[in-house]
Amino acid sequence: MKYISTRGNAPELGFEDVLLTGLASDGGLYVPKQLPHYPLHEIRSWRELPYHELAFKVVQPFVAGAIPDDVLKVMLQETYQGFAHTAVAPLTQLDHNEYVLELFQGPTLAFKDFALQLFGRLLDYVLEKRGERVVIMGATSGDTGSAAIEGCKRCQNVDIFILHPHNRVSEVQRRQMSTVISDNIFNIAVEGNFDDCQQMVKQSFGDQSFLKDERRLVAVNSINWARIMAQIVYYFYASLNLGGPDRKVAFSVPTGNFGDIFAGYLARQMGLPIEQLVIATNQNDILHRFMSQNLYKKEPLSHTLSPSMDIVVSSNFERLLFDLHDRDGASIKALMEKMSHEDVSIEVDRMAKAREIFDSFAVDDDLTCQTIKQVYQETGYLLDPHTAIGVKAAREVRRTFAVPMVTLGTAHPVKFSDAIERAGLQAPELPGHMSDLFRREERLFVLGNNLQEVQNFMAEKVFR
């Protein structure tokens, strides 16, 4: 499999190099040159497979040539064995044809574990083979950071730097990162917001000279293709468990960086019958405004009760725009430049193409809490605030009750006690493996919202 940049002016790469990168050298994002497409009878034949075997079917074409099949099979088995539920991604029914796909059964209790537990194993294998040491740099609004640390902490050949907005992640999220104490793990609390952190990461990928050309940066955010790849699997899994591919399924996806929902879009492109994809946002609703008004207009970032989705500049939207523009890199380069400094609309026919698949809805904090409370009263099931946004958006914009609507349950409610308490409910207890989280020692470096300061810090620690 070869990968190309969305901006059309970077070298084509194979999987190994795509794994070991972040942004393409032209500032774009890597996507497969050609997606595999499966006929219904082939998808149907996957119905009986346990999660890790289904993951092999979906992931193998993307890594072929880089990771031998027998190695990949073991990696996938080990990855998903570590999840708390034997189904790995169980479905919970809320109402008639309404489900939550629980993606928080992994070690850090958010959907990021699906990709980052595998990512650590892929990285370890490739670095060992190459005899290379790298620097992982990631930005987090709370969940990617802990999942990346958990997934990569046993990798021999990495230093890990995770930037999060100071005081803007939940206490559980912060402690999940800051209590993993190791010589090669650095949690940086930036005095800014998530967009500032993500911007610093992207700028650092653009110019890595602060690492003196001795180490390369590797991304753990969803700008890294390997993240998206692993997230495609659970769309197939949910569908196959609900009668797919002989029955369509709709998905509602709590959205920030657009990675998770883009994985759903790819599952559809690969042949999975998906009726509708709902872009569910919080008050940071740039994507909802774009989809409903065809106007991409940045507003200042708001801090909400769903902090993991407090994102304005949504990285993976570029990957969708690339497809909507017939995969013309030059158009995307021009469009992205324009979007960075002015309000933008796209051609009406391109927007119509997007609207065939996507609907959108924005849910503010009050509505999020009302939804948590309502669903709890109706079913006894406790939603986390991000998942609640997905459920509410699905209820508002679903096209038909004839197909199952699956909301992606992106995090466990225990991570967000503020929202649960604001909904008038009692926050759940930490699970066993985290029961002493509030007693563990923390290590955290607070730095200014300043790229130079962050890069100096990183260089000092890398060459310690």
Ligand X SMILES: N[C@@H](CCOP(=O)(O)O)C(=O)O
Q: Give the residues lining the site for ligand PLP (CB under 6 A).
A: 110, 143, 222, 254-261, 308-309, 386, 410-411
Does the footprint of ligand X cover residue 222 (CB under 6 A)? yes
Residue with tokens 């709370």: 142
Q: Quick one: 103 or 127, whose CB is closer to ligand PLP?
A: 103
Nearer to ligand X (CB atom), residue 178 or residue 257: 257
Distance in angstroms (rounded) separating the CA atoms of residues 73 and 71: 5
Work out which of 105, 117, 144, 241 binds ligand X, going by CB under 6 A. Answer: 144
CB 225 to ligand X: min, Å: 12
Instruction: For residues 12 and 31, give the distance between their C-alpha atoms in angstroms, rounded to a whole number.
Output: 10
Closest to ligand X by CB, 284 or 315 = 315
- Tell me the two tokens of residue 229: 């790849």
Q: How far is the CB of 29 from ligand PLP (least distance, A)?
A: 13
Contacts with ligand X, 85-124, as mask; x by CB under 6 A: ----------------------------------------
User: Smallest gap, in angstroms, from Cβ of residue 253 to ligand PLP?
Assistant: 7
Candidates 24, 11, 28, 22; CA nearest to 216 is 22
Please name the amino acid found at residue 283: Q
Q: Would you say 143 or 318 has its CB closer to ligand X?
A: 143
Q: Is residue 141 a contact residue for ligand X (CB under 6 A)? A: yes
Check residue 142 for interaction with ligand X (CB under 6 A). Answer: yes
Binding of ligand X at residue 221 (CB under 6 A)?
Answer: yes
| Residue 112 annotated in active site | yes
CA torsion through residues 376, 378, 381, 383, sign: negative
Are 254 and 389 contacting, i.e. CB atoms less than 8 angstroms apart? Answer: yes
Interaction partner, residue 221 (ligand PLP, ligand X, none; CB < 5-8 Å by kind)? ligand X
- Verify binding: residue 384, ligand X, rule CB under 6 A: no
Task: Evaluate whether 14 touches 65 at the Cβ level (below 8 Å).
Answer: yes
Nearest CB to ligand PLP, comparing residues 107 and 329: 107
Instruction: Return the residue of 108, 117, 308, 371 that touches ligand X, per CB under 6 A.
Output: 308
- What is the DSSP secondary-structure string of 408-458? EE-B-GGG-HHHHHHTT-PPPPPPGGGTTGGGS----EEE-S-HHHHHHHH
For residue 11, say if its preceding peptide bond is cis, omega within 30 degrees of 0. Answer: no
> Which among ligand X, ligand PLP, none contacts residue 410 (Cβ within 5 to 8 A by kind)?
ligand PLP
Is the separation of the CB atoms in 164 and 145 below 8 Å?
A: yes
Q: Which of residues 238-297 bind ligand X (CB under 6 A)?
A: 256-257, 259
Residue 64, phi then psi, degrees to nearest 5 = -50, 140
Task: Give min distance, CB of 416 to ligand PLP, in A.
Answer: 8
Question: Residue 82: how many CB atoms within 10 A of its CB?
Answer: 13
Contact 35, 266 (CB under 8 A): yes
Shortest distance in whole angstroms from residue 253 CB to ligand X? 12
Burial class (CB in 10 A: 0-12, 13-18, 19+), 422: middle
Contact predicate 276/357, CB 8 Å: yes
**Among residues 2, 57, 73, 112, which one is catalytic?**
112
At position 455, the amino acid (one-letter code) is Q
Residue closer to ligand X (CB basis): 32 or 256: 256
- Shortest distance (Å) from residue 145 CB to ligand X: 6
E strand segments, 323-443:
358-362, 405-409
- Name the binder of 254 from ligand PLP, ligand X, none, CB < 5-8 A by kind: ligand PLP
Catalytic residue ranges = 112
> Residue numbers of the site for ligand X (CB under 6 A)?
140-145, 221-222, 256-257, 259, 308, 315
